[in-house]
Structure 1
Amino acid sequence: MGDNRLLYQSSTRSTYLGFAFRKLSDPSANISVIKPALLMLLAAVIVILCWFVVEPIQIPMVAELKPALAVSLGHFMLGLLCIVTQRNILKQAFGYCLMENGSHLTLALLAWRAPELVEIGIATDAIFAVIVMAVLARKIYRTLNTLNVDQLTALKG
């Protein structure tokens, strides 16, 4: 049951953020700190590194689930890479969603005897995280006419 909710939650978040991304277009925010070719190479290095990090871990209950654990760590790290390198608020929200997917997958793998905890985290996540972030991004776009985080100097205190 938790696996189905994880899939539903992932697709729901992508749908909300995809809709917001199509509605709010800001060409000045579609820049990256790193060039796309280097970014893809860095992503491949992160995925390979995650595999080698998980390989020596000895957990008897999840010994056969090491590939899934490597994928969850990779999701988290790729989300962090997305947040650090992208200047568009919505792309950073996608990165946040990747990080959450990685953490929820890790929770589902390691807390398999507590399915209620996993289901509560998955069910509430789409509402509180994605919808709130999309609404805030839309409000920022309407107020400041930009999604570029470098141009959000009006938010400094």
Structure 2
Amino acid sequence: MDSQAKAKQWDENAFFANHSSMREPVPGTVARDAPDAPAPQPKVITAALLERGRTEFNVFCSPCHGQSGDGRGMIVQRGFPAPPPLWLPRLEQATAGYIYDVITNGHGVMYSYADRVKSADRWAVIAYVRALQQSQDAKPADLPAEDRALLEAAR
């Protein structure tokens, strides 16, 4: 397999009229690694958006940030530097645009997730992170009666 006939990208090739091995893409071709078009920030946070954010967070974020956002995910438990808990005041006060930028471009030891998490899903993750942040100060008395009953039954 190592010594088979093949053309390299800059080789001359008599088969084609321009004698080049490199070909122009077929009109209408979309690059596989084309960046995702930026999605606008949603105006309304729905249950479906939060559920999508939870799913994406658990897949891409929880390995480092932990499922509760405490910064003690599986990767951290194996020696990777711990991210800060997501409910720190500076992160609670950060704008959604800032968090979107961190997911897109990375920050500190966190690398970019632009090629892993679609633009619209980044907004969903941010909505879910905001829900995680609010849940840290939640008291059982703040819950609806039916949720309090479920909580008591689980104890």
State the TM bucket, normalised to the shorter chain: under 0.3
| Structure with max Cα Rg | 2
TM-score of the pair, normalised by structure 1:
0.27
TM-score of the pair, normalised by structure 2:
0.28
Q: Select the structure that is richer in helix.
A: 1
Higher relative contact order (CA 8 A, sep 6+): 1
